[in-house]
């Protein structure tokens, strides 16, 4: 059997001395999409930030292997260059930096770190326009500062655009459905589904089952109180939708 693309082993992390992740174990093989569902405050977003390398969190134990390499010692930019992509629940607004400048900087920084030649501005423009068109992104948006004045739907489309341009091996989608109406959700889900391939894996973090109607997972994990408490097939999402998370919350509290 081949090594899973992502392996999380007994991952523990805390913020300001308070432990949030109490030993997470998860393996995602190549080509699979795993959903992580759980109640608010269970630590789902913390897991995504710790994977991406946000320095607010202190990792106190465990390992995260991307294609066999431990990424926990790498700063966020090196993890990105190694092929990890976090689609933010709340993408940041960056006044004064145009979307195009940002995309060019990101694409070329990653290529540089991987020892690949940088792309010319016309080539980047061509790629960006072509991907933007698939996501129904107005070219005017590319000239505006990153996410500034974007609607919730536009921000998530912009995240999906970044994801497709940066061509990551492993994607973590944090509550991609939050703030989206059903039409925007379909556009974003289509964008994500286009990126599914035998070579790429994803973790889709969500509170609701709705997103999983559009991005159908191979495996569903239930996350509660900082660890994975149950794992099943996609039908588990429907069960959670019907019964809620009460079972898991109560169990933990008891």
Partner 1 sequence: MNMEARPTKTAADEGFVKAFAEAGAGLPGGANVKAQRTAAFGRFEACGLPTRRVEQWKYTDLRSFLREAKPLAPVPGAGERQRAEAAGAAFAPVKPRRLVFVDGSFVPELSDLTKLEEGLTISSLAEALTSGTPDVVSRISESNVSQGDIAYALNTAFMTDGVVINVEAGKHAARPIHLVFAYCNEKPESVFVRSLVTLGAGARLTLLESHEAFGAEDYHINSALNLDLGEGAEFDRVKLGTDSPKAIHVATTGAVLAADAKLRDFALTLGGTMVRNQAFVTCNGTGAVVDLRGASLLSGRQHVDTTLVLDHAAPGCVSRELFKSVLDDESRAVFQGKIMVRPKSQKTDARMMTQSLLLSETAETDNKPELEIFADDVQCGHGATCGALDEKLKFYLMARGIPADEAEGLLIKAFLGEVTDGIASEGVRVALAGVVNAALDARG
Q: Are 249 and 224 in contact (CB under 8 A)?
A: yes
As a whole number of angstroms, the distance between CA 227 and CA 43 comes to 8
Residue 202 touches partner 1, criterion: CB under 8 A: no
For residues 248 and 224, the answer to whether their CB atoms sit within 8 Å is: yes
Residue found by looking up tokens 């703030």 in the block: 179
* Interface with partner 1 (CB under 8 A), residue from 40, 55, 182, 198: 55
Residue with tokens 């191979």: 218
Q: Using the rule CB under 8 A, which residue among 101, 125, 214, 247 binds partner 1?
A: 101
Return the structure tokens found at 7.
Answer: 């392996």
* Length of the chain counted residue by residue: 254
- Distance from the Cα of residue 14 to its chain's centroid: 20
50 binding partner 1? (CB under 8 A) = no
Does 76 bind partner 1 (CB under 8 A)? Our answer is yes
**Position 129 contacts partner 1 (CB under 8 A):** no
Task: With contacts defined by CB under 8 A, name the span among 12-20, 109-117, 118-126, 211-219 that binds partner 1.
Answer: 109-117
In the block, residue with structure tokens 């933010």 = 88
Question: Segment near partner 1 (CB under 8 A), from 12-20, 72-80, 207-215, 242-250?
Answer: 72-80
- Interface contacts to partner 1, rule CB under 8 A: 52-56, 75-77, 79-81, 85-86, 88, 91-92, 94-97, 101-102, 105-107, 109-110, 113, 145, 162, 166
């Amino acid at each position: 059997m081949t090594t899973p693309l992502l392996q999380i082993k007994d991952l523990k992390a805390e913020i300001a001395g308070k432990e949030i992740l109490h030993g997470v174990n998860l393996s995602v093989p190549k080509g699979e999409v795993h959903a992580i569902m759980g109640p608010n405050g269970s630590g789902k977003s913390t897991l995504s930030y710790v994977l991406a390398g946000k320095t607010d969190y202190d990792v106190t134990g465990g390992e995260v292997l991307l294609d066999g390499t431990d990424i926990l010692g790498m700063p966020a930019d090196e993890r990105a260059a190694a092929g990890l992509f976090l689609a933010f629940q709340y993408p940041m607004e960056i006044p004064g930096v145009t979307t195009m400048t940002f995309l060019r900087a990101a694409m070329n920084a990653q290529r540089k770190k991987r020892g690949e030649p940088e792309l010319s501005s016309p080539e980047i423009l061509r790629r960006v326009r072509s991907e933007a068109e698939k996501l129904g992104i107005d070219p005017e948006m590319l000239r505006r500062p990153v996410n500034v004045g974007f609607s919730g739907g536009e921000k998530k489309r912009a995240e999906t655009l970044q994801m497709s341009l940066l061509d990551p091996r492993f994607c973590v989608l944090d509550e991609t459905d939050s703030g989206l109406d059903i039409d925007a959700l379909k556009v974003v889900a289509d964008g994500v589904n286009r990126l599914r391939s035998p070579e790429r894996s994803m973790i889709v973090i969500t509170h609701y089952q709705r997103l999983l109607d559009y991005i159908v997972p191979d495996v569903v994990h239930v996350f509660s109180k900082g660890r994975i408490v149950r794992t099943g097939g996609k039908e588990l999402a429907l069960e959670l939708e019907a019964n809620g998370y009460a079972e898991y919350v109560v169990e933990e509290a008891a």
